Chains A and B, each alone.
Chain A
Amino acid sequence: MTRNVNPLPDTKVSAMRQVGKPLRRVDALGKTTGTTVYAADFEMPNMLHAKVFRSSEPSARIIGLDVSKARALDGVVCVLTAEDVPGGQLGTDMPGQTGREERKGSKAPVLASDRVRFLGEPIALVAAETLETAARALELIKIDYELMPGVYDPLEALEPGAPVVYEPDNIVATWKIRKGDVAAGFDEADEIVENTFTMPFIDHAYLEPEAGVAWMDDQNVINIRVCTQVVEHFRRIAEAVGVPHNRVHIRGTMLGGGFGGKEDITVEIFLALLTKATRRPVKLVYAREESILAHSKRHPFVITHRTGVKQDGRITAAEIQMTANAGAYPYLSPYVSLYATVTSCGPYKVDNLKVDTKAVATNNPFTSAFRGFGGAQAAVAYEQQMDEVAKALGMDPLEFRKVNYLQSGDENAIGQRIESAVWLEEEATEALAALGNRTPDSGAIKVGRGFATTIQSYGRIMWFHDTARSWVGMEQDGTVVVRCGAPDVGAGQVNSLCQIAAEVLGVKLEDVTVYNSDSALTPLAGTTTATRQLYMSGNATLKAARMVRDVLVARAARHFDVTPDGIDLAERVAFVVDEPHDSLPLEDLAQMCAADGMKLQHLALFTAPFTDQLDPDNLRGDLFPDFTFSAHAIEVAVDTETGEITVLKSVGCHDVGRAINPTAVEGQIQGGSAQGIGWALMEEVQVDAGMMKTPSFAEYLIPTSKDLPTTEAIILESGTGVGPFGAKGIGEPSLTPAAPAVANAVADAIGVRVADLPITPERVLEALDRGG
């Protein structure tokens, strides 16, 4: 259900005819009929097949590597090792950004040469005439390891004398908040509550494993057709391969899911190296097992909260320590841990706040972006802590939160003023009410309810100086073309741009064609990450479409001899608002503009607010363009004899500012919730001393249709976001409150808290033993 609340801000568009409607997405039928061509579905003549030789040890020195037998195998065309890689280094920092210096130490080897730091680290590449030959060649590669002591726990990695994964001390990033007088705040407190919460490695588990095809063309351009969230990786790819930036062309495909896991470079450099070496097209597709080894994971965190409160519920001080397991290479750990730090105390006013966060390298799979990006991990901790504090005070969890909720105009943990609507209380109230009548307990089955309210940014860190471009043109038959580099991960990025352009230009969705996700042929629009595409590319498209509209309206106004504000566009005609019979088909109008030499194609640049980098030792200032505030409520049944948990009811309530397409927004809320519930109850990439214990979907379990109820999506629209038509972002915020809501519901059901995710039946039974 969708509820409009505030009148929309000025949109310069008289009425909403496309935006806000639950229209069928333009990409829907291609997908449902199996017509959409994904990265692995594409082949070329004379194409080679690639395989990657990976480390079978998590921490070792490579003392011998012999690929001669593999090279000699009939049908093998190319075997590459670190020796053959000119640059040799993969930039893991700042995907998609221009002009900013990379963090020191953020490079990783493209292929390991002397040392491996995690299981599955790439060591050699093979290209062969057939996939079977490439696989056989891997078996012929001989490698000798000298095992090195590894370190797998981030707290152990911080101890003096621990094996060094990342020079000099394993610390990949440190962030601090020092606000107010924490000692005085605790002195003032009537109660002090301290708890530690943990959460595991999680895999993105997109259904489409990483895949791509690369070829070199007659301009010596390396073309890579790949499923990626970031076409701007062409720069890092070019640097790693040793060619100029303008000799790498990324042709992004529709993604079969990303969720952050296709934000870092995956197959691209391997493909580029092999196609450059062989001058033949090369295809590389990961099997599920390789995907799980090769791509990033969600960061495990250990988070300790110490919260001081007055009897009336007011928080007087909070001290928070966060340790993130960064795995073997930095990737985006510094930023994930920054997000966690900034949202560590949640959407609450805490005047006296001390936060210390470290991201620490270990010999584990590397960790990087995953929907929620540290903000979600922070929420798992702060929302459980809020319930525990309320319990210590004997207060209702919502009444306690209401005392402390941020309000619009307040400053967040680092002093950034929140300009948009903050409807936490309304959202929590709506979500809890939608749970309806409480399901009664039945014998050993105990029913519990919980909720969580969260803050999650949308748009990138502002010191990245984020930009997006979009090009909108009208053809001479009145149809519309949008060219925008935004990748579509499946959430409807392309459709949103269509709906915006159609709205502004008075056409139907089917009148718009979008070309997207091409690093050379579509204007660069930045990454499909950080819940930024609607905000960034949506605004760029809105801006470009308005430029085209202004030309159409000016010409029509001249034709009808009225002022431009007397003209509107709808149903593929321009018409006089006061005399709707005075109308002109857009086809005719576009041709009139062309005949007059008026420009109907416009490129627009949208820039987010730019700021300087904040002081990591005392974060203070503006960091994000805006925030989405959310609530999720859950009812669970816990079998106290078996520990089994069933989610009975699930409601997500989010102020999305403006729902461009309510069906798509509902899909985000339901899908994000499913990932949150999976994280809370069942998902864990188990890594034992660096060895993968959950190598496939037989061991790494994600929710099936029988593990979840339908999440009711309640969409509120304050119209106060910084996206097009007042939209906020929903991609990541949809997930953030779900997991802590589940944890709080379980604690409510059994009367004790399981502070470690996932909340498995074993942990429930342990907690019951402890509590009973």
Chain B
Amino acid sequence: MQPEIIAVTINGREHKADVESNLTLLQLLRRLGYTDVKSGCDKGDCGACAVLLNGKAMNSCLVLARQADGAEIVTNAGLGSMENPHPLQEAFADAGAAQCGFCTPGMIISAKALLDRNPSPTEDEIREAIAGNLCRCTGYAQIVEAIQMAAERMYPTGGAS
């Protein structure tokens, strides 16, 4: 298998990378230093590695790096920072939604994808949107609360302009 050079934009930064044909996007992201993308199962069961791939939430362990050629990828760390957190990151912190924090980056990515298409989701819609993200610490209640909190802060009129 010959390495192939792909071009991807990750959190606004352009990368060219040599990738083996069996390298997953998760492995590539972590190799490039985007270690906020977590590996919890490597087979799409847990959602800890979720990223936005061209705006869509995907488990990066199920995408081959080569399939991401030309793609725009956003990880949780690309949404905000300690100095300038994204409203979801802020709300997760306020609501106590991160305990061990290992599922949190993937969870926030799923929440971001949800709010992008539905600015005022119901509790059921939130639970549906994060059903692919396992959390062992919280029982999900404070995560649901955080996503509701973020939606209210981001879209005080419920998304109506």
Per the bound structure, the CA–CA distance linking A492 and B97 in Å amounts to 12
A696 partner, pick from B41, B94, B127, beta carbons under 8 A: B41
Shortest CB–CB separation between residue B108 and chain A, in angstroms? 7
Residue of A nearest to B89 (CB): A32
CB contacts (< 8 Å) of A708 on chain B: these are: 139-140
A492 partner, pick from B99, B108, B126, beta carbons under 8 A: B99
CB contacts (< 8 Å) of B118 on chain A: these are: none
Shortest CB–CB separation between residue B64 and chain A, in angstroms? 16
A490 partner, pick from B81, B82, B100, beta carbons under 8 A: B100
Known A-B contacts A663-B96, A671-B99, A705-B143; the reply to A40 vs B39 at CB < 8 A is: yes
- B84-98 vs A, Cβ < 8 Å mask (1 yes, 0 no): 011011101111111
- A192-208 vs B, Cβ < 8 Å mask (1 yes, 0 no): 00000000000011111
CB contacts (< 8 Å) of B103 on chain A: these are: 207
Per the bound structure, the CA–CA distance linking A674 and B141 in Å amounts to 10
B38 at the binding interface (Cβ < 8 Å): yes
Interface residues of A in 468-493 (CB under 8 A from B): 489-492
Residue of A nearest to B130 (CB): A705
Per the bound structure, the CA–CA distance linking A489 and B136 in Å amounts to 12
B137 at the binding interface (Cβ < 8 Å): yes
CB contacts (< 8 Å) of B142 on chain A: these are: 663, 666-667, 670
Is the CB–CB distance between A257 and B85 below 8 Å? no
Interface centre among B46, B75, B93 (most CB of A within 10 A): B93
A254 at the binding interface (Cβ < 8 Å): yes
A580 at the binding interface (Cβ < 8 Å): no
Is the CB–CB distance between B100 and A208 below 8 Å? yes
Known A-B contacts A27-B101, A697-B46; the reply to A32 vs B141 at CB < 8 A is: no
Known A-B contacts A207-B46, A697-B41; the reply to A674 vs B85 at CB < 8 A is: no
Interface residues of A in 255-312 (CB under 8 A from B): 255-259, 285, 287-288
Per the bound structure, the CA–CA distance linking A72 and B92 in Å amounts to 50
Per the bound structure, the CA–CA distance linking A27 and B100 in Å amounts to 9
Interface centre among B38, B100, B103 (most CB of A within 10 A): B100
Residue of B nearest to A669 (CB): B139
Per the bound structure, the CA–CA distance linking A285 and B131 in Å amounts to 26
Is the CB–CB distance between B36 and A208 below 8 Å? no
CB contacts (< 8 Å) of A664 on chain B: these are: 96
Is the CB–CB distance between A209 and B40 below 8 Å? yes
CB contacts (< 8 Å) of A710 on chain B: these are: 139-141, 144
Per the bound structure, the CA–CA distance linking A696 and B95 in Å amounts to 30
Is the CB–CB distance between B130 and A259 below 8 Å? no
A1 at the binding interface (Cβ < 8 Å): no
Is the CB–CB distance between B89 and A37 below 8 Å? no
Is the CB–CB distance between B127 and A208 below 8 Å? no
Per the bound structure, the CA–CA distance linking A695 and B144 in Å amounts to 29
Interface size counted on chain A using CB atoms at 8 A: 57
Is the CB–CB distance between B40 and A288 below 8 Å? yes
A364 at the binding interface (Cβ < 8 Å): no
Known A-B contacts A32-B98, A36-B101, A491-B99; the reply to A259 vs B136 at CB < 8 A is: yes
B137 partner, pick from A25, A30, A32, A490, beta carbons under 8 A: A490
Is the CB–CB distance between A670 and B141 below 8 Å? yes
A24 at the binding interface (Cβ < 8 Å): yes
Is the CB–CB distance between A256 and B134 below 8 Å? no
Per the bound structure, the CA–CA distance linking A255 and B77 in Å amounts to 19
Shortest CB–CB separation between residue B30 and chain A, in angstroms? 8
Interface residues of A in 1-54 (CB under 8 A from B): 22, 24-25, 27-38, 40-41
Shortest CB–CB separation between residue B89 and chain A, in angstroms? 4
Known A-B contacts A25-B93, A207-B136, A710-B141; the reply to A32 vs B100 at CB < 8 A is: no
Per the bound structure, the CA–CA distance linking A32 and B90 in Å amounts to 8
Residue of A nearest to B86 (CB): A33
- A681-705 vs B, Cβ < 8 Å mask (1 yes, 0 no): 0000000000000001110001111
Interface residues of B in 71-123 (CB under 8 A from A): 75-77, 80-82, 85-86, 88-90, 92-105, 108
Per the bound structure, the CA–CA distance linking A257 and B134 in Å amounts to 12
Is the CB–CB distance between B137 and A257 below 8 Å? yes
Residue of B nearest to A131 (CB): B27
CB contacts (< 8 Å) of A672 on chain B: these are: 139
Per the bound structure, the CA–CA distance linking A219 and B53 in Å amounts to 47
B43 at the binding interface (Cβ < 8 Å): yes
- B31-67 vs A, Cβ < 8 Å mask (1 yes, 0 no): 0000111111111011010000000000000000000
Is the CB–CB distance between B137 and A671 below 8 Å? yes
B131 partner, pick from A27, A31, A705, beta carbons under 8 A: A705
A325 at the binding interface (Cβ < 8 Å): no
Is the CB–CB distance between A33 and B85 below 8 Å? yes
Residue of A nearest to B146 (CB): A32
A673 at the binding interface (Cβ < 8 Å): yes
Per the bound structure, the CA–CA distance linking A675 and B40 in Å amounts to 18
Interface centre among B41, B126, B133 (most CB of A within 10 A): B41
CB contacts (< 8 Å) of B127 on chain A: these are: 705-706
Is the CB–CB distance between B99 and A696 below 8 Å? no
Shortest CB–CB separation between residue B113 and chain A, in angstroms? 15
Per the bound structure, the CA–CA distance linking A258 and B100 in Å amounts to 9
Known A-B contacts A207-B48, A259-B136, A705-B131; the reply to A34 vs B36 at CB < 8 A is: yes
Is the CB–CB distance between A33 and B95 below 8 Å? no
Known A-B contacts A29-B85, A33-B85; the reply to A24 vs B93 at CB < 8 A is: yes
Per the bound structure, the CA–CA distance linking A258 and B102 in Å amounts to 11
CB contacts (< 8 Å) of A628 on chain B: these are: none
A711 at the binding interface (Cβ < 8 Å): yes
Is the CB–CB distance between B102 and A24 below 8 Å? no
Given contacts A663-B96, A711-B141, 12 further A-B contacts (CB under 8 A): A28-B93, A29-B82, A205-B134, A207-B102, A209-B40, A288-B41, A491-B137, A674-B138, A696-B43, A697-B41, A705-B130, A705-B131
> Interface of A with B (CB < 8 Å)?
22, 24-25, 27-38, 40-41, 204-209, 254-259, 285, 287-288, 489-492, 663-664, 666-667, 670-675, 696-698, 702-706, 708, 710-711
Nearest 3 CB-CB pairings of A with B: A34-B36, A490-B100, A31-B101
**Could you give 14 example pairs across A and B, Cβ below 8 Å?**
A28-B96, A32-B76, A32-B90, A40-B35, A208-B40, A490-B101, A667-B96, A674-B140, A696-B43, A697-B134, A703-B139, A704-B134, A705-B144, A706-B127
